[in-house]
Each structure stands twice: as structure tokens, then as C-alpha cells.
Amino acid sequence: MAIDKLLEAVTVTAELIGAELSTPARVAMAEDLALYPEKAVMQALLRCRREVKGNKLTMADIMSRLDDGRPGAEEAWALYPKDEYGSAAVTSEMQLAMAAAWPLVQDGDNIGGRMAFKERYTQIIAENRANNVPVKWEVSLGQDPGGREAALVDACQRKRIGVDHAMSLLPSDAQERFLLSAGVTEHPLLAAPKQDVAENKRRLAEILATLTEDRKVKV
């Protein structure tokens, strides 16, 4: 994303909410935000103009509204399997947050686990966003085979993991079904072998001619 365009957007946003930002501060913001997709940044700045109060604009205000592919805390909690059978695509940040909440979940305290998860998850994504760490999706596979395939289909449709990676996690007899379920229309596995009709006719004629010659010789 062009720095000059981004700098202008940051300046306009600051002016509209009454925030005073020095030129170096606006430039630093623009440089940091240039690492993210333009559409996501512009949407975050629009939300800041509508939501930020108090005549102050910070990077935290913008980053908390930036859709960089990370689910919110509530969605992240809902996505994460709560037992050994469930499967889902999760981020490394979700895994770290669940590590803090897992003892509570195991004890049956889902309310306490949810609060611990959200608190830790919010801290982690804030730190990673501040350090420009991109989101990384992984697959947590549970013991239920049917749940695995459904989770992989969902993750591929949401562009969170690649098709080939998902297929590598499935048995060979489930791969074609997975491709069809995920809506994949072009893949070597789906390519039916094409028969060359003309070539087949030529080969058949050669075989018949050979058989005819053999009969003549025998007679």
C-alpha cells in the first residue's frame, strides 16, 4: 500500500476525531500499517472515525479494529475443541491461550476457562500485532474421523489452510470426497483419464491386421 495514500488516510482520521498527531507520529503509523492489506487498514480507520472518542488516536485503536485474519476472542474460544474428539483449524495464538485455560476446562469450569482464554488470547494478539507477526493457522485433529474431514473442508473454504496440506492429513480413500465437499473443481485427482479415440481405433486396426495375417500364415 502506498505510504502517501496511507499517510493521508491517517491524517484525515486524526482530524475527524480531533486527535493531535505530530508529523513523525503520523509517518510512523503509516509505515507500520503499510504491512497490512489496504482494504483491512482502510476499514480499521473507518471504524476509528466512528468509534474512537476522547480526541486521541493510537496504534492500539487501529490495530484492535484491523481484520488481519485473526478471529476475535469470542470466535476463537468457540472454534477451539474442548475435548480430544473435536477437530478444528486454530491459530498458534489460540493454542497458547488454551494452554492457560485448559486446566479449568478439564475441571469442568468452562466459564473460568473462557475468561482465562480470552484474557490471554487478547494479550497475545496485541503483542503479535505490535510486532507485525502474521497469523498462522494450523490444524488440530481430534479422534473423530468424521469431524476431521468436516474441519478440513471448513478451513479450506475459509482459506485458512491450503488444499494440498489438508489432503495430506486425510487417508487416500477420503481425498476425492474431500475435494468435492470443499468445492475444488480443478485438481489432478479429479482429472478423469482422457482416451484418444482416434489412437484407440488405430491400435485396434493394427491388432486386427496382425490377427488376420496370422490366420493367413497358418492356413
pLDDT at 55 over 90: no
3-state secondary structure of 186: coil
CA gap 169, 155 in Å, rounded: 13
- Residue 89 pairs with which residues in a beta bridge? 139
Length of the chain: 219
Q: Report residue 211 as a C-alpha cell.
A: 490377427
pLDDT at 177: 81
What is the pLDDT, as a whole number, of residue 67? 84
Is there a contact between 132 and 148 (Cβ–Cβ < 8 Å)?
A: no
The per-residue pLDDT for range 114-128, each reduced to its tens digit, is 999 999 999 999 888
Q: What is the pLDDT of residue 145?
A: 81
State pLDDT tens for residues 126-175. 888 878 788 899 989 998 887 888 899 888 888 888 888 888 888 888 87
pTM of the model: 0.65
Instruction: Give pLDDT, residue 194.
Output: 47
Instruction: Find where cell 495514500 sits.
Output: 5
Phi, psi of 89 (to 5 degrees): -85, 125
pLDDT of residue 205: 74
Which one has a higher pLDDT value, 133 or 80? Answer: 80
- Residue bearing the bigger pLDDT, 186 or 119: 119
DSSP state for residue 35 in the 8-state scheme? T
